[in-house]
Each structure stands twice: as structure tokens, then as C-alpha cells.
């Protein structure tokens, strides 16, 4: 009978290594920090070089240089103090853009036709160009032409339409300081306190109005000078002090006067003219 060999003596016991500590539970990542800098297109608009939409088009063409380097990527952010330069081709393109002044009649709307009422741009045709204007009408002057501000359907006077984003921003940007002057025929009784409120102290849509300049032009007509353009602002202001507007005409925007431009006709903004 075979004998089993004697069992070998037990060897030293191996020490088990402690398991590594579990990693800490992943914490919720902090929200992304806001991107640094300012969008190049916004900065170009703020500096009055062009509109934001136009800036994007110029950037895509590679016609914008930042600190001497061409930029062609949309959405790029830059420091607020960078040097921005436009390619000469961009300057030439801007110089070809036109701005048109229309003496808008009652019954025309400022933008798109609505409720059967024609748009003021429909007046921009060769036979309604004011006599003596040195420029010749071209069909390309209608491309991208848009109103730079509103004038109510039942108001007359100076309406600006432009292809130039720089001018549009001057006139309708949130920070515009361009004054607009109106002659307003009214019915009703205006007290001294009411006249003071027209100058400063009224609110529309729970927002205070900027100070205005309002004074009597004659016994039934007021002269308004405003630096903002809320919807139907003058008519609503007059209602708040007990007046009814029966006629409203815009006669000036900035330094540009309506002058003797005939009703229903238009002219080009002249070289050297500016708002």
C-alpha cells in the first residue's frame, strides 16, 4: 500500500493588500464659464463700421482684419480694444449703397404692405424722383432697401430708407441719440401741467419716456422733438394729457430736413449730408 508523502509544512501566509480607496464620487461639473471677449460682428456694429448682418457678410469674405490679421470665421470673439480694419473692397461696397428720403403720404405703411395699404418703398420709382436730384435711379438701389424707423400709416413726412447698415444703426439703434422733429395738430385743451408732462414725466407700457422738447408752434399745433420712437408715441402721449391728434408730420431727422421735398416724392441723401 502506497504511502502518501508527508505534507509539506505550511509556508508563510501572504498578506492581502488593502484595496485602493475608491475615487471620490464625481461631482456635478461647474457650468461653463462665459466665453471671453465680444463677438467681432457686434463690436463692428458698436463702432459704427456696419450693421451686424453686414459684418457677418464681410467676415465671410475675409474682408475684415483684426490687429492686422484677416478673419473669416463667423462668431469669433475678440478683445474690446482690438484694432479693426476693413478691406478697401468693403469700403467700396459701402460707398455704393444708397439712402433715400421719402415724403410719405397718409395711407402708406413704412415696411411691408398690409391690409391693402401699399408700402412706402413702392414710391421709389423714376417718375417720383424729385426734380433736380443729380443721381440717376437704378434698379439695384432697391435691393436690400429697408426703412430706418417707422412713420405711422396716418402720419406724413420724412421717412428714411437705406441699404447702409451704418445709417440704420444711427437712426434705430438702442443707444441712438438722433433727434426727430414733428409738427402735430391737436384738438382739446392743454393745461400748463399737461405741457410740462409732455416734456418729461409720462410713461408708456410701464416704461418712463425720455425727456422731450414740446412747445406750441401756433394756436392749434405743437412742435415735438424726440430722441426715441415708441409705437404711436406722440398720439399716445397726447391722449394722456387730454389731446387728440388730428395731423402729424415729421419734418426733421437729425440734421436732415424734409424741406421742400414734395409729398409722395423722394430723393437721394446727398454727398456731405449726414444725420
For 113-127, write each residue's pLDDT tens digit: 778 899 999 999 999
Q: Is the pLDDT of residue 20 over 80?
A: no
Please give the torsion angle defined by the CA atoms of residues 231, 237, 239 and 240, in that order, rounded to the nearest 10 degrees: 130
User: Could you give the number of structural domains in the chain?
Assistant: 2
Given a cut of 60, is residue 110 above it in pLDDT? yes
Are both 199 and 147 inside the same structural domain?
Answer: yes
Q: Is residue 222 part of a domain?
A: yes
Give the C-alpha separation, 161 to 145, whole Å: 6
Strands 156-162 and 244-253: parallel
- Within a domain: residue 116? yes
Q: Among residues 94, 125, 141, which one ends one of the domains?
A: 94
From the list 87, 152, 154, 205, the catalytic residue is: 152
- Clarify whether residues 60 and 136 are in a common domain: no
Contacts of 176 (CB under 8 A, 6+ apart): 169, 170, 227, 228
Catalytic residue list contains 56: no
Note whether 113 and 230 are same-domain residues.
yes
Mean pLDDT over residues 135-163, rounded?
A: 93
Which residues form the domain of 50? 38-94
Nearest residue to 110 (alpha-carbon basis) of 144, 141, 145, 153:
153
Residues 218 and 260 in one domain: yes
Q: Where do the DSSP E strands lie in 131-243?
A: 146-147, 156-162, 180-187, 203-204, 207-208, 213-218, 221-226
pLDDT at residue 94, as a whole number? 77
Kindly report, residue by residue over 155-194, the tens digit of the pLDDT. 999 999 999 888 888 898 777 889 999 999 999 999 999 9
Residue 235 lies in a domain: yes
- CATH assignment at residue 112: 3.30.2350.10
Domain boundary (94, 114, 135) is at: 94
Whole-model pTM: value is: 0.76
Amino acid at each position: 500500500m502506497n504511502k502518501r508523502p508527508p505534507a509539506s509544512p505550511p509556508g508563510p501566509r501572504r498578506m492581502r493588500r488593502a484595496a485602493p480607496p475608491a475615487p471620490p464620487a464625481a461631482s456635478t461639473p461647474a457650468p461653463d464659464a462665459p466665453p471671453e471677449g465680444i463677438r467681432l460682428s457686434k463690436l463692428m456694429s458698436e463702432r459704427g463700421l456696419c450693421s451686424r448682418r453686414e459684418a457677418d457678410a464681410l467676415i465671410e469674405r475675409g474682408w475684415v482684419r483684426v490687429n492686422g490679421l484677416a478673419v473669416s470665421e463667423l462668431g469669433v470673439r475678440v478683445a474690446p480694444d482690438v484694432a479693426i480694419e476693413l478691406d478697401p473692397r468693403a469700403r467700396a461696397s459701402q460707398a455704393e449703397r444708397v439712402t433715400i428720403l421719402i415724403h410719405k403720404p397718409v395711407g402708406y405703411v413704412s415696411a411691408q404692405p398690409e391690409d391693402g395699404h401699399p408700402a412706402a418703398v413702392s414710391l421709389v420709382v423714376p417718375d417720383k424722383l424729385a426734380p433736380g436730384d443729380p443721381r440717376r435711379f437704378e434698379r439695384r438701389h432697391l435691393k436690400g432697401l429697408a426703412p430706418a424707423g417707422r412713420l405711422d400709416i396716418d402720419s406724413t413726412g420724412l421717412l428714411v430708407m437705406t441699404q447702409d447698415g451704418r445709417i440704420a444703426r444711427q437712426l434705430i439703434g438702442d443707444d441712438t441719440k438722433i433727434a426727430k422733429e414733428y409738427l402735430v395738430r391737436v384738438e382739446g385743451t392743454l393745461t400748463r401741467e399737461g405741457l410740462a408732462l409732455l416734456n418729461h414725466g409720462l410713461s408708456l407700457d410701464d416704461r418712463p419716456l425720455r425727456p422731450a422738447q414740446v412747445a406750441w408752434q401756433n394756436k392749434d399745433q405743437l412742435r415735438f422733438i424726440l430722441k426715441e420712437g415708441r409705437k404711436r408715441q406722440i398720439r399716445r402721449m397726447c391722449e394722456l394729457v387730454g389731446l387728440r391728434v388730428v395731423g402729424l408730420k415729421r419734418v426733421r431727422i437729425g440734421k436732415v430736413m424734409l424741406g421742400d421735398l414734395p409729398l409722395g416724392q423722394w430723393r437721394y441723401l446727398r454727398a456731405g449730408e449726414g444725420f
